[in-house]
Structure 1
Amino acid sequence: MDNSAPGRDGRNIVVIGSSTGGPRTLETIFSQFPLVDAAIVIVQHMPHYINNSLCAHLAKTCLMEVKIGEDGEPVEHGTIYVAPSDVHLKLLGNRTIRLFDDEKIQYVRPSIDVAMTSLERHRGDRLVGVVLSGMGSDGAEGIRHIKSIGGTTLAQALRTCAIHAMPRAAFETGRVDQMLPPEGIREKIIRIAGIL
């Protein structure tokens, strides 16, 4: 992946998927997290009443704006968007959030795979996919897709996971660039995106 600065209209987009054990890992990743030159989308398998709590926790630990993603909302650098519960999230043209109520995929909605596979190769864009702790294999196809369009792919080191099924499934695609502990994932995202 070309880690030079994105073009004038280029975007840095990071999509992070997590499930069981994810909220605690996310808090570690975003602890003392600076304002980075990227839009970060988090797809966490969780009931709706946890969404606001997750946003509040993350907002306390980092300098990024943290909010629930809204349909039709343009994504901006310096902001973390948490996917709402019980709807799928796509990024249209890597620029705009689209929410839609479709069938569950692998028994989950929102689906990490749906969000990640919506990313497109655009000149100047830098894309990063991250799979964290969780049950099942959601995110594996997303990692395969992001790697196929020139993105950087990361997964949580298995020894640091509460449940390692999702990172293992991602790793088994053969398309994960690095398996890292939460602190390593944080540093990698900062290095790729750069600080605003």
Structure 2
Amino acid sequence: MQFRILPPRHQNSQRTTGDNRKSTIGDSSGSEANHDSTIQGDAEVQAAQKVFNASRKAETELKDEEIRLLRKQVEVMSNNQKKQEEELSKLTTGLRNARNTNAELLKRKSREAELTEEVDRQKRTRLEEVGIVGEEMVRMKAKYSKDLEVIREGCKAEIATIKVAFTKAVKKADDAFAWEMAISTLHGEIQG
């Protein structure tokens, strides 16, 4: 609420009073009436001034309160912005860490897949080698079995030959011994 400052009433009152005095010279009742109206006018001015001062004070306090509230609001907004920036920074850092972790996990997974593939390849190679060795062993066993059979048959024939030769030799030895014994006996009889 705005108030307009009014000029003091007593200035106009004095001029009016002077004019009244000129026109009412010798009239004491008119002079007293003008004096009373001047006092009443001054009281109205003082009352209006008090109202105006109170209004100005209230308006100033209101503006100060508005400024204080605005500053508080700016401070709160600034704090909220700082908190949001900190939260955003945390989220950004967390997201970066999560991406790094995810990338690391993908690398590990890829490496594990490579290692698994390498192990599988080595297993296949070893199985193939074992298969080849097994086939070679079977082939060699078959060959050696045939060779052993030939050797066995050869040994049997050789043993049979040796037995025959030994039997003949024993028989010859027996015959020779018997012959020698017979000769010795005959010789003894002749000498006797």
Question: Structure 2 length normalisation: TM-score?
Answer: 0.12
Write 1 or 2 for the structure with the bigger share of strand: 1
Answer 1 or 2: higher relative contact order, Cα 8 Å, separation at least 6. Answer: 1
Write 1 or 2 for the structure with the bigger share of helix: 2
Question: Structure 1 length normalisation: TM-score?
Answer: 0.12
Structure number with greater Rg is 2
